[in-house]
Amino acid sequence: MSTRKLSLKDKYRILTRDLEWEYSYRDYREIFKQEAFEGIKITDWSKWEDPFRLTMDAYWKYQAEKEKKLYAIFDAFAQNNGQQNVTDARYVNAIKLFLTGVSPLEYQAYNGFAHVGRQFGGVGARVACQMQSLDELRHVQTQIHAMSHYNKFFDGFQDFTHMHDRVWYLSVPKSFFDDARSAGPFEFMVAIGFSFEYVLTNLLFVPFMSGAAYNGDMATVTFGFSAQSDEARHMTLGLEIIKFLLEQHPDNVPVVQRWINKWLWRGTRVLTLVAMMMDYMLPNKVMSWKESFEVYFEEAASALFKDLARYGIEMPRYAETAILEKEHVSHQAWSIFYNYTHAAAFHTWMPDDKEMDWLSEKYPDTFDKYYRARFEHWRELERAGERYYNPTLPMLCQTCQIPMGFTEMDNPTLTAYRQSVYQGERYNFCSDGCKDIFDHEPEKYVQAWLPVHQIFQGNCGGPDIEDVLGDYYRINLGVDNMDFHGSPDEARWNAWHNLQPAEDKLKQAS
């Protein structure tokens, strides 16, 4: 037997493309049942260019090395009581949002890529999806491990998977991925592989990972570094799928364009959560949401879509609205969470004077004009011992499931309302983007599990809202929820650092 070592190229061919075989006794359409129903036409899978050339053995070896380093840093972080060295305890709420809202999406991505990795007739696409699937599984695991240390010292982390499936604001990211995973395999790839991983990924990961770096959270930063090379691969896969679909058949162009319109709108809506995290939850700011939107969306996307114009692809339909909204969404989202903090598993608070000034400086056209007075009013109420909590339940958008806190960009203090009547029933939306998505596939979105309506139907326990929050959502009431000021998190932090709560200082001074 020859023991000749294979060249890298041969090895790659044997371990990927050579895994394919001829289907001699079953019909191709029967094996790849989901390849045609979306209206995508594939004429020749052999034109698929593998976006990266990595074999399984190299993959395991490389990832194992990264993991060894990563876990060494997690250990060091724990041994050195790294939780005490973050900027201040408010920061940890950004991580709570990440663990409950984003990490479960990594798991959804793992499921989604494993599924589509079975559905494509082309072996190159199948192998690439399989690799990404493994990456995503690794991401969810390492994120949980990175953040588990915080669970020992801060509230709100304990039931993150349970909460992801039930809590009202977590239905936003959850339903986003449910939408993608219940679509056909090509739409999933345009939704997650291209729109999310290629176009929007920097708007999600840079804010969280730089946010961690600026706020002394070594565990999360290190996770970010260890995922970086994976993300580079995911981006090349996202770009390959788009180019491949567009080159295969001209009939694919309008289908792909519609998916791009839809998923970039869905994506920017989900990123509203990141926007408020950046502008409000980081004690040490990285940059404003507006600035990061300009760099990572406006500049990057305009170059990308210029490049895709040769296939007949245009800028995504709702990009103009999204660009105008960069001035508003973080403030609107923080207002939503401030209103309903009693129903959330993390804390909110009003910005202090210095932070208000930073917001005025970063949002010279909108913050003082529309938001500052509202926040100052809330701060006064809080000082008077009457911190404002909204006593009702909010109206939600049927598509993105976010409370209807967005406004008309030509009249920024007027709530944007859109409505469709489908088969005699009214459906309400936050935007043209969300309405158009519904109107195109109403039979999908009539099924939306809207948390507020579910509560009204009696499906989330009760009878009181407290029962829903405590028993059904499993929020530890008075502990995980409510304002940061007065929270057990704050009290513990102050005890570690011998700090006095702001109120006591005021009392002593007077």
- Cα(229)–Cα(155) distance, rounded to whole angstroms? 32
Task: Note whether 374 binds other proteins by CB under 8 A.
Answer: yes
Are 332 and 406 in contact by the 8 Å Cβ rule? The answer is yes
Which residue in the set 165, 441, 471, 504 belongs to the binding site for other proteins (CB under 8 A)?
441
Task: Note whether 443 binds other proteins by CB under 8 A.
Answer: yes
Task: Give the residue from 326, 349, 199 showing the smallest Cα distance to 272.
Answer: 326
Which of positions 176-205 make contact with other proteins (CB under 8 A)?
183-184, 187
Task: Note whether 198 binds Fe ion by CB under 5 A.
Answer: no
Task: Note whether 234 binds Fe ion by CB under 5 A.
Answer: yes
Which residue in the set 434, 448, 450, 475 belongs to the binding site for Zn ion (CB under 5 A)?
434
- Residue 434 contact partner, candidates Zn ion, Fe ion, other proteins, none, CB within 5 to 8 A by sort of partner: Zn ion
Structure tokens at 361: 């400086």
Q: Which is nearer to other proteins, 118 or 492 (CB)?
A: 118
Q: Which is nearer to Zn ion, 211 or 403 (CB)?
A: 403
* Least distance from other proteins to the Cβ atom of residue 482, Å: 17
Task: Note whether 373 binds other proteins by CB under 8 A.
Answer: yes
Q: Measured on CA atoms in the order 446, 262, 254, 44, is the torsion positive or negative?
A: negative
Task: Note whether 251 binds other proteins by CB under 8 A.
Answer: no
- Residue 270 contact partner, candidates Zn ion, other proteins, Fe ion, none, CB within 5 to 8 A by sort of partner: none
* Least distance from other proteins to the Cβ atom of residue 465, Å: 12
* Least distance from Fe ion to the Cβ atom of residue 193, Å: 9
* Least distance from Zn ion to the Cβ atom of residue 418, Å: 9
Task: Note whether 394 binds other proteins by CB under 8 A.
Answer: yes
365 Cβ partners below 8 Å, 6+ apart?
327
Pairing, β 411-415 against β 407-408: antiparallel
Are 342 and 481 in contact by the 8 Å Cβ rule? The answer is yes
Are 265 and 322 in contact by the 8 Å Cβ rule? The answer is yes
Task: Note whether 130 binds other proteins by CB under 8 A.
Answer: no
Residue 446: what are its φ and ψ, rounded to 5°? -65, -15
Q: Quick one: which segment of 74-82, 150-158, 211-219, 393-401 binds Zn ion (CB under 5 A)?
A: 393-401
**Per-position x/- string for 294-333, each x denoting binding to other proteins as judged by CB under 8 A, each - no binding:** --------------------------------------x-
Buried b (16+ CB within 10 A) or exposed e, 232-254: ebbbbbbbbbbbbbbebeeebee
Q: Which is nearer to other proteins, 72 or 414 (CB)?
A: 414
- Cα(289)–Cα(333) distance, rounded to whole angstroms? 12
Q: Which is nearer to Zn ion, 252 or 399 (CB)?
A: 399
Task: Note whether 139 binds Fe ion by CB under 5 A.
Answer: yes
Q: Which is nearer to Zn ion, 208 or 429 (CB)?
A: 429
Structure tokens at 290: 């507006």
- Residue 136 contact partner, candidates Fe ion, Zn ion, other proteins, none, CB within 5 to 8 A by sort of partner: Fe ion
Q: Which is nearer to other proteins, 220 or 428 (CB)?
A: 428
Query: What CA–CA distances, in Å, run from 293 to 18, 61, 94, 310, 437?
Result: 43, 36, 19, 25, 23
Query: What CA–CA distances, in Å, run from 271 to 241, 276, 278, 305?
Result: 23, 9, 11, 20
Task: Note whether 106 binds Fe ion by CB under 5 A.
Answer: yes
DSSP annotation string for 458-508? TBTB-SSHHHIIIIIS---TTTTSS-STT-HHHHHHHHHTTPPPHHHHHHH
Structure tokens at 398: 């049927």
Task: Note whether 377 binds other proteins by CB under 8 A.
Answer: yes
Task: Give the residue from 484, 388, 488 showing the smallest Cα distance to 93.
Answer: 484
- Cα(407)–Cα(328) distance, rounded to whole angstroms? 9
Length of the chain: 510
Residue 268 burial (CB count, 10 A): 28
- Cα(74)–Cα(76) distance, rounded to whole angstroms? 5
| Strand, coil or helix: 425 | strand
- Residue 37 contact partner, candidates Fe ion, Zn ion, other proteins, none, CB within 5 to 8 A by sort of partner: other proteins
Structure tokens at 212: 């961690």
Q: Which is nearer to other proteins, 15 or 393 (CB)?
A: 393
| Strand, coil or helix: 410 | coil
- Residue 400 contact partner, candidates Fe ion, other proteins, Zn ion, none, CB within 5 to 8 A by sort of partner: Zn ion
- Cα(29)–Cα(385) distance, rounded to whole angstroms? 67
Task: Note whether 136 binds Fe ion by CB under 5 A.
Answer: yes
Which residue in the set 163, 397, 437, 468 belongs to the binding site for Zn ion (CB under 5 A)?
397
Which residue in the set 23, 37, 62, 496 belongs to the binding site for other proteins (CB under 8 A)?
37
Note the residues at the interface with Zn ion (CB under 5 A): 397, 399-400, 430, 434
Note the residues at the interface with other proteins (CB under 8 A): 33-34, 37-39, 183-184, 187, 332, 335-336, 338-340, 369-374, 377-378, 388, 390-396, 403-405, 407, 412-415, 417, 419, 425-428, 441-450, 452-453, 456-458
Note the residues at the interface with Fe ion (CB under 5 A): 106, 136, 139, 197, 234
